[in-house]
Structure 1
């Protein structure tokens, strides 16, 4: 049996989205109060996100951790206004953020995220390179990485550059090294 979701009659706040999520499966993100549903990602996409998380885990400062496929409230609107919640493939967030959500409920907040990573899918290129890039910058997330798993695997590391949003030095293949926001080295070819 197929259940057709019913669209709400008004734009949703983050709190309303979280209530729906508990009873209505399939909605993956909230953008300016509108529910968005996406298809499940391909196996290469999921493997790359998982392997990136594993590669990062041992390189993080102890106060941070890797989380996969978690809702992040971008905090772009007041609590009583239509909100935006994205579900990145990988985030690096403070350990306290996860403990807070366990203790108090809610979702990870943009202010608790150090790095957000999107793994490109054929249908998400424009969304990830344009829309999410702007939203994550507006939310003040310091680092946004875009992982492209089409061969050769590449990673575009973006960092906040003041009022202009994110700046980047171009995509890299083979091996990715970073000094900021923490020292890291990732064998990109090993992610597939």
Structure 2
């Protein structure tokens, strides 16, 4: 098996609205992250305690993300739900890491409570769709973080023609390849699902 190698950003601090410049002298805590207005923190990920702006998705990326979440929710068992762009807390013990996978599969009973975020322990599958500028993060940095956080499955989708999908499963704290394909792809874990990758960026 192959292995996978391992502007203004407002918040509230003491009742005063502050920008990303205010975080330069210290690392962001989970409490500070929670205090940020939702419309602002949705533009950010936290990497080792430092806010990083998430670029706006291109059209094909958005189409693929929405369609994949829809396909998953059509096929997954009732106890699992696919959620696009959910915040996932990977680590708080040293420096805070909050990532936002393009699609996360989580237990339905948690999703039904409309949480602001999920813990990594709640995430069954994390999916990233590679975009220009995010190649290294999606192929190297994020899977290393997801593996360390214990997320059992990681799927990577490449939108360059032909559209491809690579699925990994966590084994001994390292992601091992379980499926790599184009066109129609079938997976058995965490539940039987099939995808027509060529249709991911089509309107219908």
* Equivalent residue number for residue 36 of structure 1: 52
Q: Which runs of no fewer than 5 residues in structure 2 stay unpaired?
A: 1-6, 10-18
For the pair 1:177 / 2:191, whether they are aligned, the reply is no
Question: Quick one: distance in 2 between partners of 1:177 and 1:21?
Answer: 40
- Determine which of 15, 18, 25 is the counterpart of 2:34: 18
For each residue in 1:19-45, what CA deviation from the matched residue of structure 2 results, as whole angstroms up to 9, or x when unmatched?
A: 124374564200111100021010000
Query: RMSD of aligned C-alpha atoms?
Result: 1.9
For each residue in 1:136-182, what CA deviation from the matched residue of structure 2 results, as whole angstroms up to 9, or x when unmatched?
A: 0011110000111111110010110113x101146310111111111
Kindly indicate whether the alpha-carbon contact (under 8 Å) linking 1:27 and 1:35 is maintained by their aligned counterparts in 2: no
Alignment of 1:32-181 (within 5 A): 32-74=48-90, 76-78=91-93, 81-100=94-113, 102=114, 106-163=116-173, 165-169=174-178, 171-181=180-190
**TM-score normalised according to structure 1 size:** 0.88
What number of residue pairs does the alignment pair up? 184
Distance 1:186 1:170, change over 3 A: closer
Question: Quick one: distance in 2 between partners of 1:59 and 1:23?
Answer: 31
**2:160 partner SS:** coil
**TM-score normalised according to structure 2 size:** 0.83
Distance 1:50 1:106, change over 3 A: closer
